[in-house]
Structure 1
Amino acid sequence: MRVLLAGLCTVDVVQRVAELPEPGHKVQSHSVEVSAGGPATNAAVTVAALGGEATLLTVLGAHPLADLARADLATCGVELLDALPARPEPPALSAVAVREHDGERTVVSHNAADGPEPGEPGPLPAADAVLVDGHHPVLALAAARQARTEGVPVVVDAGSWKPVFAELFPLADVVACSADFREPDGALRDVPTVVTTAGPGPVRWRRGDESGEVAVPAVTAKDTLGAGDVWHGAFVARVGELALPELIGFANAVAAERVRHSGPRSWLGPVRAKMGER
């Protein structure tokens, strides 16, 4: 499965702590890891871990910090298409603290909104499915429009409402959003398939006049960072291959495996071993 993923790529600095700090307090971390992050990026890493060919269309630029994300993506087997390779500003950056006893996390992010945005890209690689997260709207629309002309599924990761979704939703086959997602009235009305995740709660789906829900496996969470992004990556990695309830169950299982492991990349080996051939 060839998957094109268009959206945000951040540099994540992840520290594990016994307790999340209160305002004005300092805490000592037990570990520090640096990785690439962001919705489309984490989904791309998941696609590659599941044996797919993942191509990430994003903006990183020429700042030295961007090399940290490039190196991580190369290690994870994700092909990178940087739409602004000469951009001098720092890339998007996230500082993450993960509480050890339950995997809960806090995130402080700067999504590189201060720099120039890319223009219309040229022809994009052929793909069997496309996922967009709404960051870098020009790139998201280009990927979705090309997918529509080629007749391949378009999945929108709708974490929170973005103005570009008004143009993306009519191009989407699936919009996957969280239970906290709030859209303007009627924005999802004409989307063929809408899937709503709710953390450890059942995932609800609606397709035409049909609807249902799929339970999430009960696991002891050690790290919830990026679990929703992993879910989206697993979903798009098998979209078109499995019936919708079975596809949601597969994505639920992959995301559940992710939260069982501490750190941004420690889960990749177990997921490859358990899920890659399903």
Structure 2
Amino acid sequence: MTGPRSPEVLSAHAQPAGVGRDGVAGVDRRSHVVLCCGLTTVDAIQEVDGIPGPNEKVVARSATLTFGGPAANAAATAVAVGAHARLVTAIGSGPVADLALAGLADAGVEVVDLARGTGAAPAVSTVLVTASTGERAVVSVNATRSGALAAVPTDVLDGVDVVLVDGHHLETAIEVSRAARAGGVLVVLDDGSWKPGMERLLALVDQAIVSADFRVPVGVVPADVPASDVPATGSPAADIASGATVDGERLLRQVAAFGPRVVARSDGAGPILVLDSRTPAEVRSVTVPADPSRTVVDTVGAGDVLHGAYAAFLAGELAASDPVDVLARAAQVASESVHFRGARGWVPGYRS
């Protein structure tokens, strides 16, 4: 993993090993390293009484400008629960980029910025949080304007226990995942929606966590399934080829057909479904804890918190881990996060 231009590596200070505000336990040792690869944004988050309609203006209750993005939030979460996090991403230069870099440094994340010095600027997201429910609406350009990125440094996987990719910056994610697999490093995919070329990345990951909204496009099948065989197989690939409506369990089997040994499907406050090819074929369920006596303040980044905590806890256990048990621990952290503002409001000492 070399290239003509070396990205700048920004080493951030480390924070104390984390325990959540409500006693969520972290990993045992900071020597566990998680590499997160994917999207960093700058989020303009505003709390409102209701989402405005056409030509309507509303006054926000509060406003925050901070970094976001699945990979960046996951990296910050991994640090908060006690791991070391390295983030491979594209941020760029300028005042907006500086804001994101400063926030990541404050969160204790080591940044490898593949867009440093290119004149690029980070993606900006607008997030509206409904005050009464904590639900959010998001508008973002994501990684669509990042352009060509520098090659990943050859030493980026040094000391890494688990790689977490979010599907953005796809070619970089594939490069990192391929190198991780060659080096025997576990690769986990966090993906909320199908992105063009995702079948190439799925073939390189060991575990995949998808959202309830995730769908495999009709006609996209694993590379090792001949098109002529699909209609007759009655397999997950046949479901995709025919456009069949799938429930949660069939979606897990569709995704698993592309290569991941473990596939999980999250659904907000609903149960997390898990299919693990290394165990009997039944789909297992993880209950997401909830406390009706506490108010849900903000669901921004809750999924990112789930994935970051999962990767950190997995890094501490690796082969000895059962994904159901690890997801249960990660769900506890994610459930705690929704009682505070933002993706990091639950972290001790966090300054918004």
- TM-score tier by shorter-chain length is over 0.9
What is the distance in 2 between the residues matched to 1:195 and 1:81? 28
Residue 182 of structure 2 aligns with an amino acid whose one-letter code is: T
- After superposition, residues 88-167 of structure 1 pair within 5 angstroms as 88-123=119-154, 124-126=156-158, 127-167=160-200
**Offset of 1:244 from its aligned partner?**
1.7
Range with greater deviation from structure 2 (261-270 or 98-107): 261-270
What is the distance in 2 between the residues matched to 1:86 and 1:270? 32
Match of 2:275 among 203, 206, 210: 206
What is the distance in 2 between the residues matched to 1:231 and 1:102? 20
Q: Is the CA contact 2:88–2:111 (under 8 Å) kept in the aligned structure 1?
A: yes
What is the distance in 1 between the residues matched to 2:190 and 2:343? 20
Residue 270 of structure 2 aligns with an amino acid whose one-letter code is: G
Aligned to 1:36: 67
Q: Is the CA contact 1:63–1:91 (under 8 Å) kept in the aligned structure 2?
A: no
Q: Is the CA contact 1:35–1:264 (under 8 Å) kept in the aligned structure 2?
A: no
Query: What is the SS of the residue equivalent to 1:237?
Result: helix
Q: Is the CA contact 1:60–1:87 (under 8 Å) kept in the aligned structure 2?
A: no
Aligned to 1:194: 263
**Offset of 1:201 from its aligned partner?**
0.5
TM-score normalised to the size of structure 1? Answer: 0.92
Residue 197 of structure 1 aligns with an amino acid whose one-letter code is: S
TM-score normalised to the size of structure 2? Answer: 0.74
Aligned to 1:276: none
Query: What is the SS of the residue equivalent to 1:118?
Result: coil
**Offset of 1:169 from its aligned partner?**
1.0
Gaps of 5+ in 2: 1-31, 221-239, 241-253
Aligned to 2:289: 217
Percent sequence identity over aligned pairs: 42
Match of 2:342 among 258, 263, 273: 263
**Offset of 1:117 from its aligned partner?**
2.0
Query: What is the SS of the residue equivalent to 1:166?
Result: helix
- Please say which structure displays the higher CA radius of gyration: 2
What is the distance in 2 between the residues matched to 1:112 and 1:138? 12
Report Cα offsets for 1:234-267 as digits up to 9, x if no partner.
1111115132221110111011011011234321
Q: Is the CA contact 1:120–1:138 (under 8 Å) kept in the aligned structure 2?
A: no
What is the distance in 2 between the residues matched to 1:73 and 1:270? 14
| RMSD of equivalent CA atoms | 1.7
Query: What is the SS of the residue equivalent to 2:102?
Result: helix
Residue 207 of structure 1 aligns with an amino acid whose one-letter code is: D
**Offset of 1:21 from its aligned partner?**
1.6
**Offset of 1:9 from its aligned partner?**
0.3
Aligned to 2:229: none
What is the distance in 2 between the residues matched to 1:145 and 1:227? 28
**Offset of 1:211 from its aligned partner?**
2.1
**Offset of 1:22 from its aligned partner?**
1.9
Residue 215 of structure 2 aligns with an amino acid whose one-letter code is: R
What is the distance in 2 between the residues matched to 1:68 and 1:146? 31
**Offset of 1:122 from its aligned partner?**
2.6
Query: What is the SS of the residue equivalent to 2:106?
Result: helix
What is the distance in 2 between the residues matched to 1:65 and 1:191? 36
Aligned to 1:274: none
Gaps of 5+ in 1: 272-278
Match of 2:322 among 243, 249, 252: 243
> For the structure 1 residues 26 and 34, does the alpha-carbon distance in structure 2 shift closer, same or farther, using more than 3 Å as the test?
same
**Offset of 1:100 from its aligned partner?**
1.3
**Offset of 1:119 from its aligned partner?**
4.0
Aligned to 1:66: 97
Residue 188 of structure 1 aligns with an amino acid whose one-letter code is: A
Aligned residues: 271
Range with greater deviation from structure 2 (144-153 or 222-231): 144-153
What is the distance in 1 between the residues matched to 2:264 and 2:255? 14
What is the distance in 2 between the residues matched to 1:174 and 1:76? 26
> For the structure 1 residues 263 and 122, does the alpha-carbon distance in structure 2 shift closer, same or farther, using more than 3 Å as the test?
closer
**Offset of 1:187 from its aligned partner?**
4.7
What is the distance in 2 between the residues matched to 1:253 and 1:228? 12
Range with greater deviation from structure 2 (195-204 or 124-133): 124-133
**Offset of 1:89 from its aligned partner?**
3.2
Report Cα offsets for 1:94-153 as digits up to 9, x if no partner.
011111121011111122523422143231232000000111112201211121122121
Verify: 1:76 aligned to 2:151, yes or no: no
What is the distance in 1 between the residues matched to 2:129 and 2:140? 14
Residue 235 of structure 1 aligns with an amino acid whose one-letter code is: Y
Range with greater deviation from structure 2 (107-116 or 207-216): 107-116
